[in-house]
Structure 1
Amino acid sequence: MSNKPIVAAIDFGTTYSGYAFSFGHDFQVDPLKISCTNYFNARSGAGMSLKTPTCILFSPDERFHSFGYEAEEKYSDLLMDGEYQAWYYFRRFKMILYNGQDLKRDTKWQAPNGKPFPAIKIFSCAIEYLVNHMLSTMEGKMVGVKREDVHWVLTVPAIWDDKAKNFMRTAAEMAGIKGENLSIALEPEAASFYCKYLPVEKLSDKSEISCFETGKRYLVLDAGGGTVDITVHEVIQGGHLRELFKANGGPWGGTTVDEAFIEFLKSLCGQETLARLERDFKDDLMDILSEFEVKKRTVSPELDQKVTLKIPISLHEIFQEDHGQTFREAVAERPDLQGKLVFAGDKMRVEPSLMKSFFQKTCDTIVGHVMSLFAKPELSGLSIILMVGGFSESPMLRHAIQTSFPQMRVVVPNEAGLAVLKGAVIFGHQPKIVYSRVSKYTYGIKVIREAKSDDPQDKLYIESDGRWMCKDAFSKHVEIGQEIEVDSKMGEMYTPISEEHKYLEIALYTSTKKTPKFIDEEGCTLLGTIHVKLAKSGGRDREVFVQLIFGGTELGVEAIEKKTRKVTQAFFNYLE
């Protein structure tokens, strides 16, 4: 239970971001009494919004300018005025962290103007904006709110690796959040916590049988903008949750539907023509994609009317220059598009089956992955699929899941797109709600050990005392697929190799194999270095017991001096 009077969560999404908060005294009475803001000004006077687009703008001197709708509006103006080249604009940048193996503190990402920009600054400024926006919102509910009064929770996909999680933590601390006041919540878990408290009438399936009775097993399918994130839980005594299978999923979120539409545009007008549109009329391309983003939410299996999309005059003009005929004529000559696509003025009318086809590959991929999970013996007894996340609100995805798994109860909360955000607030109040998790990797330490008869020759050497030793050995602590209770500790004793050393440096590796022997085998990756502060005196006689703490949303470490039995400073460095 948090000892802060307020818990606030930031749901940092691929396409949209937002925040929510609740007071400790309210949570004791009603865990669902959670406040979300509606103070984000939507574009073009469309009113107020609970979330804002995940896009950020920096000025030519690399200073933060704006975030969300404000950044969209300003960048659109810069595009129309032809002044965007010197500015740094980023959207949907969360996916940088999906494959975070090469992440470093100085990792840079290329802006649309072709210039590199520090990735960690993008994330820290975005977090700082949301924190400040939330604090100003809370001022209306509670006088004199300070950052120190709040326990902050950041959401991340469960499929992210430890390095990506640490990158987010580092960015949050750069944004002014103290490390001890920050928790990382896993998105599908957070959504599950929220649904656990919902009354039956707030679920799409109003069956009297609860998903959260003791012994129930269910799959959480968190479909967001960038990723589909899946966890599998069993409810155990006391309402706690036990993870049955390691978090899994992939980059199959709602933005892949947008990508299918972009590929369709390329097939219509050609890659070079679309590239010219992007280069010379970025604002027009942004408008096309923004309109599609809105229209795709209305697409359902029952859709029987054409969908209208505005095509800017600039695309028609570029196409004419590139191909020597009008865009309309070229489309009319395509036999595969007869009756599927017609023009009326500056509007393109898209036949329902064609609009639905943009969802096909994404839905098939998600269904195929879930089907492969149900084939695993450790997941026997599952009967419920809990769908959350913004993309789960898509009728196309819901229909695909429901028809592909008729034997399953498919449960969707009314606010599927807010389930992660509100659940993260609940997690901040009740961080111990999960009893155990399943390790996504095998974790181990690089060690030197006594040689064995089957060790490779290139790993062997002789110590000064005549012993044959083996270098680069993988000392396993936790195995991939192993169920681990939260805050389980596993450690070893370490001795400094030099009297001058002030810190121990321990190389931490992960592997996709169950029992790797050496740290340079295929599937092994250097995760980072553990730094342990040593006593100032004692020469080599300064042994330290170093423990890794598993089972939480983040990997932990602690170290105890053997002589004094005192805890000494120990920390990870993932981003060297």
Structure 2
Amino acid sequence: MTSQPLNGDVIAHDTLFRKDRAYHRYCIIKINLDYFFFSRFKMDLHWKDMRHDTEIHDVTGKALPAISVFSSSIKFLTDHLFQTLGDRGHPMETSQILFVLTVPAIWTESAKQFMREAAVQAGIHTNQLVLALEPEAASLYCQRVPSQFMSCGTDDRINSPGTQYLVADIGGGTADFSVHEVNEDGTLTEVHMATGGPYAGTNVDEEYIKLYNKIFGWKTMQKLKAMDMEEYLSISRNFETKKRLVCEEYSESFNVKLAAALFKRVKAKPRKMKKSIAESGMKDLISIDGDKIKFSPSAIKRLFCTPIDGIISHLQNLLQEHEKVKSILLVGGFSESKLLQEEIKKAMADKTFVIPNECGLAVLKGAVLYGHSPLSITSRIMKYTYGVASDSIFKEGIHPKARKYKDENGEFRCKRSFSILISKGTKVSATGVKIIRTSEPVTTTQMMIAERVYYTDNENPIVVDEKCKLLKGYKLSLPENNGKPRIVKSTFTFGLTEMKYCSEVIETGVQKVGTLDLL
């Protein structure tokens, strides 16, 4: 683990972002004489509404702007690419390459835009960057993999026209689920909107660390982290290699040598250690012998229960909605887990499974295919209802009376009604569907139109309430009132991997084009 500062920069940083032998993802940033160690930081985008100034914390609790961490990681990858191309005698410029950045399909628009901004800060021009949804990329790749390169199933299960299959992209941090149908020309249509959650490989790791916290105490583990980061990280790293071997027939105990700080606590308080193990619910499954802690096979398998149960429940709910689905495509890093494969097959014995070799690389390889042929996906299903908060004309029996008020022209309006742009569940072309909205000032003295875009799980919201989440607000200046209509035309494009936006003040012709600044 090394880090080199960039020459001459006041804030200098370089990034290491790769898989080591234990497949441990991390990023080290050096700023002056201080080091920051970030691990599995991609999950921060899943839980937060990202903004330009959002900070994330490294494993020691120190904070940096999230955009800096992500852009540094992307820059390391692009630098490595150009170095490799040069070493192999194929030097290229950034302008010669179309970059494809994959994102989970369940991410919000702000998280996707955050990744685009991070890539731009890393030196990639926005016009040379395409965002691909991870389950779509994996699905495209598996459409082209011959049966001999499948570890389970055959390609004819998912590539015949009219076939519907469920894509389960189960990675390290998130699980994305979607249903695709094969068209006559071999392209794919999304039949069910992307859904998912945090059921993934990191959940198993988290359960493992929780055991250490219960047995040795949270304060002791934090002290170990502060005193010897390498020893602390080795706990997860050593487990990562063992985790991949676990299956139903797994019968090996997992013996781990304790770090010096933990062994010291065992010698000082042996009875307390035994009590902590008993209180962890694994009295007969975990033991401490000298400077080693021993986990039985049952104890290791139990760590998988929470994510596997969540995955199976989600799959079963989707299959109930789509009876035509006969096959399940398993991709993503956690899908390589034999125990996960066995439990899913057991729970859904009437389905066939298609699993490519090295299924953890399916998204990566599919992203290349998507970059060459983005129209291989012909349509998508909207995950949310999008709309604008507006004081529309009050409709008796529809709008709540508590929102009713009279404007200066004597018209009754509804305060913050939800003006729908597009509804959840709508099938839209992957080339984009444009929704045009016109608006004009409510008062004659109004010199600006300010609108706020919201999204919600509700298919038919009436007003903006606590179930609606703010996507972004935007403002447009208006010309002075000269008796002519002062109309603003806003065009929203849905169906692409990112939402696009364009607005125009009709009288002045002033336009704002591109994406809404969601950060």
Give the TM-score band, short-chain normalised: 0.7 to 0.9
The offset of 1:151, in angstroms, is 0.9
Question: 1:335-354 residue pairs with structure 2 within 5 A?
Answer: 337-338=283-284, 340-341=285-286, 346-354=291-299
Match of 1:19 in 2: none
TM-score, normalization: structure 1?
Answer: 0.80
Q: Which of 339, 344, 364 pairs up with 2:309?
A: 364
Give the Cα–Cα distance (whole angstroms) in 1 for the partners of residues 109 and 54 of structure 2: 16
**Residue 403 (structure 1) aligned to one of 337, 346, 352:** 346
- Deviations 1:331-368, CA, capped at 9 Å, x for gaps: 69999544x44556644343222222211222122111
Q: How does 1:506-545 map to 2 (within 5 A)?
A: 506-519=451-464, 521-530=465-474, 541=485, 543-545=487-489
Does residue 191 of structure 2 align to residue 244 of structure 1?
yes
Equivalent residue of 2:210, what SS? helix
- Report deviation, 1:393: 0.6
Which residue does 2:491 correspond to in 1?
Answer: 547
2:167–2:329 CA contact under 8 A, matched in 1: yes
1:89 equivalent to 2:37? Answer yes
Matches within 5 A, 1:138-153: 138-141=85-88, 143-153=90-100
Q: Which residue of 2 aligns with 1:189?
A: 136
Query: Offset of 1:114 from its aligned partner?
Result: 3.8
Q: How does 1:153-552 map to 2 (within 5 A)?
A: 153-207=100-154, 209-321=156-268, 323=269, 337-338=283-284, 340-341=285-286, 346-376=291-321, 379-454=322-397, 455-486=399-430, 487-495=432-440, 505-519=450-464, 521-530=465-474, 541=485, 543-552=487-496
Give 5+ residue unaligned stretches, structure 2.
Answer: none
Classify the secondary structure of the residue corresponding to 1:65: coil
Q: Distance in 2 between matches of 1:404 and 1:69?
A: 35
The one-letter code of the counterpart of 1:515 is N
Give TM-score scaled by structure 2 length: 0.88
- Closer, same or farther in 2 for the Cα pair 1:501/1:114, shift >3 Å? farther
Contact map agreement 1:511 1:523 (CA 8 A) in 2 = yes
Question: Structure 1's 88 and 116: CA in aligned 2 closer, same or farther, altered over 3 A?
Answer: same
For the Cα contact (< 8 Å) 1:57–1:89, is it kept in 2?
A: no
Name the residue aligned to 1:63. 12
Name the CA distance, whole Å, in 1 between partners of 2:392 and 2:281. 70
Shift of 1:269: 2.5
Pick from 42, 52, 73 the counterpart of residue 126 of structure 1. 73
Q: Deviation of residue 138 (structure 1)?
A: 2.1
Residues 1:341 and 1:561: Cα distance change in structure 2 (over 3 Å): closer
Q: Secondary structure at the match of 2:199?
A: coil
Asked if 2 retains the 8 angstrom alpha-carbon contact of 1:441 and 1:512, the reply is yes
Over the matched positions of the two proteins, sequence identity in percent amounts to: 32
Provide Cα deviations, 1:469-509, integer angstroms capped at 9, x if missing partner: 33312111211122222211111223367999998543211
C-alpha distance in 2 between matches for 1:361 and 1:459: 44
CA 1:342–1:325 in structure 2 vs 1: closer, same or farther (change >3 Å)? closer
Output the CA distance in 2 between the equivalents of 1:320 and 1:259. 26
- Matched length: 512
Q: Structure 1 residues 463, 361: closer, same or farther in 2, change over 3 A? A: closer
**What RMSD, in angstroms, separates the aligned Cα atoms of the two structures?**
3.7
Change (3 A) 1:467 1:397: same
Q: Judging changes above 3 Å, is the alpha-carbon distance between structure 1 residues 90 and 214 closer, same or farther for their aligned structure 2 residues?
A: same
Residue 372 of structure 1 and its aligned partner are, at CA, apart by 1.6
Deviation at 1:530, TM superposition (A): 4.6
Aligned to 2:48: 100
Bigger drift between 565-574 and 110-119 goes to 565-574
**Cα distance, 1:414 vs. partner?**
0.2
Q: State the distance in 2 between where 1:125 and 1:574 align.
A: 21
- For structure 1, the residue ranges without an aligned partner over 5 or more in a row are 1-42, 45-54
Per the alignment, residue 12 of structure 1 pairs with none
Cα deviation for residue 543 of structure 1 reads: 3.2
> Is this contact kept in 1: 2:15–2:27, CA < 8 A?
no
Contact 1:173/1:179 (8 A) holds in 2: yes
